[in-house]
Amino acid sequence: MLRRFFVLFSLGLMVLLAGCGPVRVPLLLPTQGQIPALDATCPVPTGDLQQLAVDREGYCLLYPAGYIVEQPADGITVLVMDGLLDAAHAHINVEDALGRTAEEVATALVDEFNPLGFELEISQVNVANETGFMVDNVPGQDLNRQLFVVHNGRLYSFLFAPADVERAEVQAQMEDLYTTVIDSFTFIAPTAPTGLPRP
């Protein structure tokens, strides 16, 4: 499952969407180039925080200034530090839950690694008034934190990296990014069903 997760994040050519103020990702619009009005329920950007609204997948959030937004494939949004390789980053993947609960997805991740000698544990986190299930120190290209939440039949999977206490500065960046994204994460009405390709 983890290998599939990383492959999905590396697909295709990255689309650069950096800029000042709110960032919109209207992947399905009634008219080409038309951008819907900002959803009134979305968190308000500040001088240090930018707003990202992904209408198609049904969410919006705030993220720290200095990050850029990339979308390598349908359903995937990536936040990376502009111009820095060794820096915190976040990935958000949205897909049909296919009847799975967030706890089941987190449990499957733990069950994949713990027989190999890891000691991963699941903890509960509130995400926009839904119960999310978090697994910390997941092995991968970097140790990472993964969080799963289901809302209206969609599975929202988050990955934050690196989760490495031996890299204190980057770990602090990751914690700040995690707190900002999760505390501001808001569900909005999606503009398209899951699985529908981009126009």
Give 149-168 pLDDT, tens digit per residue: 999 999 999 999 998 878 88
Mean of pLDDT over the chain? 81
Question: DSSP for 40-103?
Answer: TTSPPP-SSEEEEEETTTTEEEEEETTEEEEEEETTEEEEEETT-SSS-EEEEEEEE-TT--HH
Among the listed residues 160, 144, 152, the one whose alpha carbon sits nearest the alpha carbon of residue 63: 160
pLDDT at 194: 63
d(CA 178, CA 132): 14
Residue 54, Ramachandran bin (φ over 0: left; ψ between -120 and 50: alpha; else beta): beta
- Which pTM was predicted? 0.79
Structure tokens given for 138: 């997941």
Q: Which residues of the chain have pLDDT under 50?
A: 1-22, 24-38, 196-199
pLDDT at 195: 53
Please count the other Cβ atoms lying within 10 Å of the Cβ belonging to residue 151.
19
How confident is the model over 114-131, as pLDDT tens digits? 999 999 999 999 999 999
Domain 2-29+38-187 has CATH 3.40.50.410: no
Domain limits, the chain = 2-29+38-187
